[in-house]
Amino acid sequence: MNNLYKITTALAVILAFSACNNSPNTSEVAEETVVADSIAARYLSQPLITDHYTADPSAHVFDGKLYIYPSHDIESEVPQDDLGSHFNMMDYHVYAMDSPTSSVVDEGKVLGVEDIPWAKRQLWAPDAAEKDGKYYLYFPAKDAQDIFKIGVAVADSPTGPFTAQPEPIKGSYSIDPAVFEDADGSNYMYFGGIWGGQLQKYRNNNFEDKGPAPTDGLPADDQPALGPIIAKMSDDMLEFAETPKEIKILDQEGNPLVNGDNNRRFFEAAWVHQYNGTYYLSYSTGDTHYIAYATAENPYGPFTYQGVVLNPVEGWTNHHSIVEVNGEWYLFYHDTQLSGETHLRNIKMTKLTHLPDGSIQTIDPNN
């Protein structure tokens, strides 16, 4: 069955619920409604967007309004593999919300692969930032050699359209850029992802192709795991102001998390937020499907592992963002409720709670 048809059918059932008392087929509509309600009840939150497949939501508040910058999943004929080749996204849309409880407005397509001179394919998870009235969309894409680099596009509005720079950011590599603005106005990019994200192919920022398998180039299981990469941004937000550095994630005893510690080690999707003066690095553990988090006293770390933000969602991937809106904190994430397909996801949101001791209350996405 075509997956967009699945979405349309599900929506039709939900809409029919409001009209069931006026329908000549009330019993049939009621039965369909019970089925739809039982499916929806399995999930903590419902999809924010239902007419497109969306994933990897990067949420920000600009000028008092909430904007979401997700990736745009599409149907793909590329066979599934552990490199994520079937995640063959081609463009980005921006979504706006007046408040966390308001409707979501699709502001339209703001950038496509055809608009990026150096990019060949696979526009994966993006992020956005603002400085001095300019808005910046950061994105990974594969170049002509099928190597992931990170690009930037600029706009005068958070809804674009965005104009891509002619070349990727010098010294950038891998995937999942996330830009954090510190209290002093400094901006830092966190990036990287193993397996299909190619981070395991780099050492000290130099490309070393260790082989074609997703795990080729990873450390031994008893060796320190690869960490995300950090680089301070230049004043114009278009380049790195320093040589990128690897972040260390430690256990409670101060030892580096090892590569074989799949429930805790970094895989992809780094995100940083600050709460009560503490820096929180959250990230996906990938093949074990947790959103974990670690804390530090400065943006470079080292970060100490603390626990789990989000338990595994339906679907293979797990990618998120955390944002404060009017004094309340929200987690944005995705699953595959609408399609049941790994590469056709839908974004969601739910409240996030920092407990009095500074820990984050673990969220279970399924009821």
Per residue in 187-198, pLDDT (tens digit) is: 999 999 999 999
Task: Tell me which of 56, 176, 246, 341 is the catalytic residue.
Answer: 56
225 and 264 in a single domain? The answer is yes
Q: What is the pLDDT of residue 91?
A: 98
Domain edge (last residue) among 41, 57, 73: 41
268 is catalytic: yes
Which one is catalytic: 127, 130, 261, 268? Answer: 268
User: By mean pLDDT, which of 29-38, 52-61, 336-345 is the weakest?
Assistant: 29-38
Instruction: Let me know whether 102 and 213 are in one domain.
Output: yes
328 and 283 in one domain?
yes
Check whether residue 77 and residue 4 sit in a common domain.
no
Are 2 and 100 within one domain? no
Residue 348 pLDDT class (50, 70, 90 cuts): very high
> Does 55 share its domain with 30?
no
| Whether residues 3 and 55 fall in one domain | no
Give the structural domain span for 288.
42-352
Domain count, the chain: 2
Q: Is the pLDDT of residue 22 over 70?
A: no
**Res. 16: pLDDT tops 50:** no
Position 256 in a domain: yes
Residues 33 and 90 in one domain: no
Give yes or no for a contact between 7 and 341, defined as CB atoms under 8 angstroms apart: no
Residues 18 and 141 in one domain: no
Lowest-confidence segment of 148-152, 209-213, 237-241, 330-334 by average pLDDT:
209-213
**pLDDT level of residue 28 (50, 70, 90 thresholds):** low
At 9 the pLDDT is: 44
pTM for this structure? 0.92
At residue 37, the pLDDT reads: 75
Per-residue pLDDT, 120: 97
For the question of residue 56 being annotated catalytic, the response is yes
Is residue 155 a contact partner of residue 137, using CB atoms and an 8 Å limit? yes
Name the amino acid, one letter, at 10: A
Residue 155 has pLDDT above 60, yes or no: yes
Edge-first strand order for the sheet with 65-73 is: 53-62, 65-73, 91-97, 105-112
pLDDT of residue 35: 62
Statement to judge: residues 148 and 213 lie in one domain: yes
Q: pLDDT grade, residue 36 (50/70/90)?
A: low
Would you state the pLDDT for residue 38? 80
Mean of pLDDT over the chain: 92
